Amino acid sequence: MVTMWKPFTRDEETQRLADTLAVLLEEITAFDKGKRVNRRSDIQQPEFAAISANDISKMPDLYWDAEKIGEAPVREACATTLTMLGKRLHEMGGVDLMQDVHDRVVKRTRRHGNYWSMLLDKRWDGIGGEWWA
């Protein structure tokens, strides 16, 4: 018997996005508190290359924090994903849905709630021209 894939409902997708945000925030917090270390010993350092301002202006947002990504690739990958998920939430329901998920995620932890709120605000700043940190 073949099971057909069915798309998530809006509530199911929202819950999955909230769960994913919580996992990412836990990883960022662990890194920032010194409990996680990026294993860079086996990462070959890139060669220096000159890039024109014109080329930089054409790069997606992901590349703007290249220095940070180089210093802490796992942490910055998580942080970049926070931004992408914030954009998805905005597409689904605007700033109201973003605020709802923000509040749900932040309430999951008493210990790091304010820190998680600050991280989300920083990464979601300017999304849709409506979210301002």
* pLDDT tens sequence for the chain (133 residues): 566 666 778 888 899 899 999 999 998 998 888 876 554 444 444 444 455 555 545 555 544 555 666 667 788 888 989 999 999 999 999 999 999 999 999 998 888 999 999 999 999 999 999 888 7
- What pLDDT, on a 0 to 100 scale, did the predictor assign at position 47? 47
Task: Copy the structure tokens of residue 118.
Answer: 């600050």
- What pLDDT, on a 0 to 100 scale, did the predictor assign at position 34? 80
Residues ≥6 apart with Cβ < 8 Å to 87: 127, 128
- What pLDDT, on a 0 to 100 scale, did the predictor assign at position 105? 94
DSSP 42-98: TSPPPPP----HHHHHHS-GGGGGHHHHHH-HHHHHHHHHHHHHHHHHHHHHHHHHH
The whole-model pTM stands at 0.68
Q: DSSP secondary-structure letter at 112? A: S
- What pLDDT, on a 0 to 100 scale, did the predictor assign at position 83? 94
- What pLDDT, on a 0 to 100 scale, did the predictor assign at position 44? 45
Q: DSSP secondary-structure letter at 4? A: P
